[in-house]
Amino acid sequence: MRFLVVGLGNFGASVAEGLQRLGHEVVALDRDLDKVEGMAAVLSHAVLGDATDPEVLERVGAAEAKVGIVSTGDDVSASVLIAISLRDLGMEHIYVKVVSDLQARILDKIGVSNTVFPERESAQLLARRVSRASLLSYFELGPDFSAQEMVVPEDWVGRSLRELELPRRHNVSVVAVRDYLSDHMEPIPDPDAPLKESDTLLLAGRATDLDKVARIR
């Protein structure tokens, strides 16, 4: 799958590198030569150019990319211009890093609703994680739908998933069970196996329901 990443600041460079590691084709574009040269050894296609110019986007093959990630820092006008150009090229999915609600609203008006607030989202996830000692990780998967990995509450140790009836009692689903001592994960856990103190649970459900479960001791 081909991705286009515009802007090689900390966020854009991290996304580009992550996608490359996952085996995708990544074309990264930035008008700062130092940033392009800094990523040249990591990415197969790191290109110097001004993405606000539609001809530059066409030249790097933006039309062949299914997903575009725009990360132009505080340059709001640049992000809007680039998003419009990518939309005009027929790109299926466009994600734009934004720095304000106003920028997000502007992009939404032109038909780009996939906006990302990296700092805000990271801060909110950290706040949720540190407020619950039982949480090991937390992921927002969509509007009011999340997943979290948590240690098994003391009251659940020795009991089975069938006995606990988490979907019925707590409105959450068990995606997997992991033994953190052996780091072995069971993606389809045995519903009759007793949970161990060394187990962690990967749960999915509404954020409010997950929060209630994380409070159980």
Q: What pLDDT does residue 211 have?
A: 86
Q: Are residues 128 and 191 in the same domain?
A: yes
Q: Are residues 31 and 96 in the same domain?
A: yes
- Report which of 190, 192, 205 is spatially closest to residue 150, judged by C-alpha positions: 205
Of all residues in the chain, what percent carry a pLDDT higher than 70? Answer: 93
CA dihedral sign, ordered 17, 29, 1, 74: positive
Q: How many domains does the chain have?
A: 2
Domain with 75, as residue range(s), is 2-116
| 147 close to 203: Cβ distance less than 8 angstroms | yes
Any idea which residue has 């409070």 for tokens?
215
Q: What pLDDT does residue 207 have?
A: 86
| 70 close to 79: Cβ distance less than 8 angstroms | yes
DSSP string, 112-126: --EEE-HHHHHHHHH
Q: Are residues 13 and 100 in the same domain?
A: yes
Q: What's the pTM?
A: 0.63
Q: Are residues 100 and 130 in the same domain?
A: no
Q: What pLDDT does residue 27 have?
A: 94
Flag residues of the chain having pLDDT under 70: 121-133
Q: What pLDDT does residue 122 have?
A: 65
Query: Of 95, 116, 137, which marks where a domain is finished?
Result: 116
Q: Are residues 99 and 140 in the same domain?
A: no
d(CA 40, CA 54): 23
DSSP bridge pairs for 172:
205
Any idea which residue has 């990415």 for tokens?
43
pLDDT, tens digit, 9 for 90 and up, residues 84-141: 999 999 998 999 999 888 888 999 888 887 888 887 766 655 555 455 557 778 877 7
